Amino acid sequence: MYLFRSSGKFLSLLCFLFVVTGISPAISQGTFNIEDFSSEPVYFLKPEKPLMVDSFKTYPYNKKRIQLVTAANIVGYGGALVGLNALWYQKYPRSKFHFFDDNNEWLQMDKVGHVYSAYSESRATMELWRWAGLPRKKSIWIGGLSGVAYQSVIEVLDGFSSEYGFSVGDFTANIIGSAAFISQQLAWNDERIQIKFSFHRKNYGSQQLNDRANDLYGNTEIQRFIKDYNGQTYWLSANIKSFFPDSKLPEWLNLSIGYGAEGMFGGIKNVAYNDNGDLVFDRQDIKRYRQWYLSPDIDFTKIKTNKKGIKILLFVLNALKFPAPALEFSNGKFKGHWLVF
pLDDT in tens, 70-107: 998 888 888 888 877 776 777 788 899 999 999 999 99
- Give the model's pLDDT for residue 90: 78
- The residue among 162, 190, 218 that closes a domain is 190
Q: Domain for residue 267, yes or no?
A: yes
Give the chain's radius of gyration (CA, Å).
Answer: 21
Range of the domain at 63: 55-190
Residue of 9, 201, 182, 178 whose CA lies nearest to 102: 9
**Are 245 and 334 contained in the same domain?**
yes
Residue 105 to residue 112: CA distance in whole angstroms: 12
**Are 231 and 320 contained in the same domain?**
yes
- The residue among 172, 190, 208 that closes a domain is 190
| SS3 category, 200 | coil
| Alpha carbons within 13 A on the beta-carbon side of 202 | 30
Contact 263, 230 (CB under 8 A): yes
**Are 204 and 186 contained in the same domain?**
no
**Are 248 and 209 contained in the same domain?**
yes
- The residue among 170, 190, 210 that closes a domain is 190
- Give the model's pLDDT for residue 269: 97
**Are 217 and 150 contained in the same domain?**
no
**Are 198 and 237 contained in the same domain?**
yes
**Are 174 and 270 contained in the same domain?**
no
The alpha carbon torsion through 158, 162, 166, 167 (nearest 10 deg) reads -100
- Give the model's pLDDT for residue 111: 97
- Give the model's pLDDT for residue 308: 84
Q: What is the pTM of this model?
A: 0.85
Q: Domain for residue 43, yes or no?
A: no
Residues of the chain with pLDDT under 50: 1, 18, 24-54
DSSP states of 79-141 as a string? HHHHHHHHHTGGGS-B-S--B---TTGGGGHHHHHHHHHHHHHHHHHHHHHHHHT--HHHHHH
Which helix (H) or strand (E) is 325 found in, with range?
strand 324-330
